[in-house]
Amino acid sequence: MNKNPYGDILLEIESGLWEHDYRVEEGIAESYEYTDPHFRACLKIFMEGFLCKILENMKDEKDNKKKADAVQKAGEALRKIILEFTGIDPHELHKS
């Protein structure tokens, strides 16, 4: 498998977000706003990693239909959770 060219950037973003969370908790920074495009970007990043881990977990599975079904089921479950807790339908975010 190829090295992720975004790996270092992802780790830098994660570190910055943890640092910012700490600063918010300490009262020395304000929370960030996440617009719909920002949220869409977060979902894309998460889904890339999530899909990779699903397929990695199923690497010994020879049946591609089972893999596709697992990915679809996971995507549908996440869509339902996101819609339930944010009121945002991820499919609609990707139409804009």
Tell me: pLDDT of 96 over 70. no
Would you list the domain boundaries of the chain? 1-32, 34-96
Tell me: pLDDT of 2 over 90. no
pLDDT digits (tens, 9 = 90+) for 8-61: 999 999 999 999 999 999 999 999 999 999 999 999 999 999 999 999 999 998
CA distance 12 to 7: 9
DSSP state of 28: S
Residues 6+ apart with CB under 8 A from 37: 96
Tell me: pLDDT of 94 over 90. no
Q: Residue 90 in contact with residue 77, Cβ under 8 Å?
A: no
Tell me: pLDDT of 1 over 80. no
CA distance 82 to 90: 7
